[in-house]
Amino acid sequence: MKSKSQMRTRESTPRLPLSSERSVYLTKLIADFIIYNYLPLSIVESPQLQGIFQDMYSEIRQNVYNELQLAPGICLTTDIWTSQANQAYMTITVHFIDLKNNKIKNFAPETREFS
């Protein structure tokens, strides 16, 4: 079975659920920026914008690393599903307890497409 990595483990970051308030807000913000400035959709591929995203990625990655260092343990779960386009995907989710705030936290560092 051949798989394509959408995101490499070493590049893992916490992902917001697409329906989360923050994710919806950020998506709308970027879309509004593109629409109101009459920019091409390819703007998201610009080196400058990619640099901004890379800086954000690095900061989030470091924050997750720091949180995991303090976790007493982790639990991994997987979820497998098929898209409407009939493509199979699997996501690995890491769950842990944030002892500082006494909360259960999780993030999805890996999603792969199976072809």
C-beta of residue 90 within 8 angstroms of C-beta of residue 80: yes
Other C-beta atoms lying within 10 Å of the C-beta of residue 59: 11
Share of the chain above pLDDT 90, in %: 29
pLDDT at residue number 18: 55
pLDDT at residue number 29: 86
Residue 70's alpha-carbon distances to 50, 73, 93, 100, in angstroms, are: 30, 9, 18, 9
Question: What's the rounded mean pLDDT across residues 104-114?
Answer: 87
Listed by start position, the domains of the chain span 12-114
State the first-to-last Cα distance of the chain, in angstroms, to the nearest integer: 7
What does the pLDDT look like over 37-87, one tens digit per residue? 998 988 888 898 888 888 888 888 888 889 899 999 999 999 998 988 899
C-beta of residue 111 within 8 angstroms of C-beta of residue 7: yes
pLDDT at residue number 69: 92
Average pLDDT score over the chain: 81
Q: Give the confidence band of 108 by pLDDT, cuts at 50, 70, 90.
A: confident
Q: Distance between CA 109 and CA 48 in Å, rounded?
A: 25
**DSSP state letter for 100:** T
